[in-house]
């Protein structure tokens, strides 16, 4: 299997898991954030699980019934896993007594599979090789292909992730997204200026606060607020791009689906720009400024920008 093809397959598996996790509830499972979960011997855990920077231990004789999405953290399995596992830079270890029935997709750290571990399914890694082969057995001539496959996998994963987030946001917050998108289209210059000033002010303020130990939590909280605002603006831009594509190509779809498509296209273009040294990152920030400024002008989409209030008395669905 070529590294490029394996990169595609790994990213697609990852994207499918993320979309399932975003659209469907985790069932009897849940979400862990910097927590520990131990499935003791002779116990059964049922439900899908999303673990962020968390530690999961599946002891010998125990069973995990469901899918697992790992973002950082670790997974130590000596029992049985009946489901799929998607790992993003997480330390995954299967001991000799471990068994798994499903797909194991890994981006970042390669999973450690001890001799005797039974994987009934497929194993996909960003290195482009399936277990039990290792990266050291790869011909040196293919190293360029691995780098391409890795970068492509990261881009596709980012597209899937932001598209899933965009679908969720538009499903639950359609009017705020519509207000932000309307402001970007009608007042792009003001949105860009306010967004650029917000970025510069936030960078200076957070740096100043971070240097003061007693105020560092404020810096972290402020960073979270700016990131949420930037994400909302990004989704609003993707929403408008999806709507424009719908008109150009002559197809109709739910606004959430259009937002997912548009956000994927926007993220793909931004990812391509990001590979331009220095200038690429600056261009991405400039593009982000449009959405961020519109979010500020509309107070996180909670109200119409006052200049547009008279021309848009009612929110579009």
pLDDT tens digit sequence for 27-66: 445 778 788 999 999 999 988 887 878 899 999 999 999 8
Residue 212: pLDDT band (50, 70, 90) is: low
- pLDDT the model gives residue 159: 85
**Per-residue model confidence as pLDDT tens digits over 9-25:** 444 444 444 444 433 34
Sign, Cα dihedral of 225, 230, 233, 239: negative
State the pLDDT at residue 26: 39
- Write out the two tokens for 101: 């029935």
pLDDT bin (cut points 50, 70, 90) of residue 4 is very low
Residue 22's pLDDT is 39
**Cα 168–169–170 angle (5° rounding)?**
95
pLDDT, position 75: 94
**Domain-wise residue ranges, the chain:** 3-143, 173-297
Judged against a pLDDT cut of 60, whether residue 312 lies above it is answered with: no
Q: What is the mean pLDDT of the chain?
A: 77
pLDDT at 307: 57
- The answer to whether 128 and 7 are in contact (CB under 8 A) is yes
Q: The pTM is what?
A: 0.53
């Amino acid at each position: 299997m070529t590294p490029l093809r394996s990169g595609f397959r790994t990213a697609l598996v990852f994207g499918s898991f993320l979309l399932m996790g975003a659209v469907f509830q985790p069932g009897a499972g849940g979400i862990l954030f910097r927590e520990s979960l131990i499935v003791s011997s002779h116990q059964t855990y049922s439900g899908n699980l999303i673990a962020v920077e968390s530690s999961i231990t599946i002891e010998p004789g125990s069973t995990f019934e469901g899918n697992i999405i790992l973002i950082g953290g670790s997974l130590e399995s000596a029992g049985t896993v009946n489901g799929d596992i998607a790992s993003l830079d997480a330390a995954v270890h299967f001991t000799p007594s471990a068994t798994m029935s499903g797909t194991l997709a890994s981006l970042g750290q390669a999973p450690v599979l001890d001799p005797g571990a039974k994987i009934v399914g497929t194993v996909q890694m960003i290195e482009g090789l399936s277990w039990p082969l290792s990266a050291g057995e790869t011909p040196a001539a293919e190293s360029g292909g691995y780098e391409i496959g890795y970068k492509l996998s990261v881009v596709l994963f980012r597209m899937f992730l932001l598209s899933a987030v965009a679908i969720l946001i538009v499903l639950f917050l359609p009017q705020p997204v519509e207000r932000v998108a309307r402001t970007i289209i009608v007042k792009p210059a003001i949105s860009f200026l306010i967004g650029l000033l917000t970025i510069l002010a936030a960078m200076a303020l957070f740096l100043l606060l971070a240097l003061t130990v007693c105020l560092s939590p404020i810096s972290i909280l402020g960073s979270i607020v700016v990131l949420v605002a930037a994400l909302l603006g990004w989704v609003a831009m993707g929403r408008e791009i999806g709507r424009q594509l719908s008109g150009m190509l002559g197809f109709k779809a739910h606004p959430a689906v259009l937002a997912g498509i548009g956000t994927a296209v926007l993220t793909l273009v931004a990812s391509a720009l990001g590979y331009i040294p220095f200038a690429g990152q600056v261009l991405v920030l400039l593009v982000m400024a449009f959405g961020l400024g519109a979010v500020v002008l509309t107070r996180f989409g909670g109200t119409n920008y006052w200049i547009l209030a008279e021309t848009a008395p009612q929110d579009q669905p």
